[in-house]
Copies of this chain bind each other. A is one copy, B any other.
Amino acid sequence: MLMIPGPTPVPEQALLALARAPIGHRSGDFSKVFADVTAKLQWLHQTQHEVLILTASGTGAMEAGIINFLRRGDRVLVGENGKFGERWGDVCDAYGLQTERVKAPWGHPLDPEVFRERLTADSAKTIKAVIITHSETSTGVLNDLVTINRYVQDHGTALIMVDAVTSMGATSVPMDEWGLDVVASGSQKGYMIPPGLGFVAVGPRAWEAYKTSDLPRYYLDLGKARKDGAKNTTPFTTSVNMVMALQASLSMMQREGLASIFARHHRQQQATRAAVTAMGLGLLAGDHCASPSITAVLPPAGVDAEKVRSHLKKHFDIVVAGGQDQLSGKIFRLGHLGFVADRDILAALAALEATLQQLGHAFPAGAGISAAIAQLGQA
């Protein structure tokens, strides 16, 4: 049982679609599937604009979202308060951009006011893009995209590029309403299918910038994907079986409905946070910046986070994630993203309660699960 922030559990309908004999990627039958999947992706992104499908991980999708719309030497602001924010800064460096990192400590949200200051001071309009990790998977922090984006819109020319890898499908990211220019995500998250596909939604201001972008790329060239996407195909052989699985999972999501999906993620997030707190554990991210999809937990004093993880795996066959880089050994991360039922949350939290007791951490018996049940019942 996977309770990590990706790969997330995959429903049977999607697994069975994966197991079908592949059809030709240039066939009329596949084009129909591709058109349907594209429309469903637009529904999920709440956009009229292109949502392009790449055979790549979320990192490949985000890199494509950056390098197709900028010129060498362009000044970019990159929010950095976790592993993924760091990564986008590294991508910008790799392509010779003038990268300005706007940092916050891991576990804290980015400060929108720093972005406001830089953007309002930029009367010469030298800032070409602001790159934000919406839900920082490494810390379970949801950055305040709404406020930061408002400042970017006020700036008038900078593009807003969003890593929505663990927010898309977990909370509302209405691309058109917010005026987001680039939104990147990956298949093994809210999409409920295995890793292997990346998605990049691109708005008209970004396509305008594409015309003058000069960063080298070929496989990740989104202009090619756009051109072929208009004919319901891809420039390079796409992962046919994964697209079939995606059709199955997006169909399930449409039946559930966006409001219901987001409410479910919020409810499970609240239940997880309440339970963890009731068990006397700490939360890395505050209530005002809690990710809808991942909760980073501080183990009790004297208990190693890795010990909690290995106990959960050994005795309950439940896999939770560890800390990354500077948080390694200091936290464990509970995923509640994608195909997760309230029952799964209860199972994971009950197993966590058992684990903590068995590791000698004292708290009122049943406190965690009772708090979770109360939260689940409120929705």
Please report A residues at the B interface, Cβ cutoff 8 Å: 2, 4, 6-7, 9-10, 15-16, 18-27, 55-60, 63, 67, 90-91, 94-96, 186, 188, 194-196, 215-221, 235-242, 319, 321
Contacts and interface: CB of A to CB of B under 8 A. Distances in A.
B57 A219 contact: yes
A195 B21 contact: no
Contact of A237 (B2, B18, B96, B195): B195
The 5 closest A-B pairs by CB, nearest first: A196-B239, A19-B19, A7-B22, A60-B219, A194-B241
7 contacts: A26-B321, A57-B238, A58-B237, A94-B216, A95-B218, A186-B237, A239-B242
Copies held by the complex: 2
Given A7-B240, A22-B2, A215 B216 contact: yes
A88 to B, nearest CB: 10
B319 A217 contact: no
A56 B55 contact: yes
A26 to B, nearest CB: 8
Contacts of A27: 319
Contacts of A235: 59
Nearest to A241: B194
A89 to B, nearest CB: 11
Nearest to A6: B237
Contacts of A219: 56-57, 59-60, 63, 220
Contacts of A242: 194, 196, 239
B218 A216 contact: no
Contacts of A4: 24
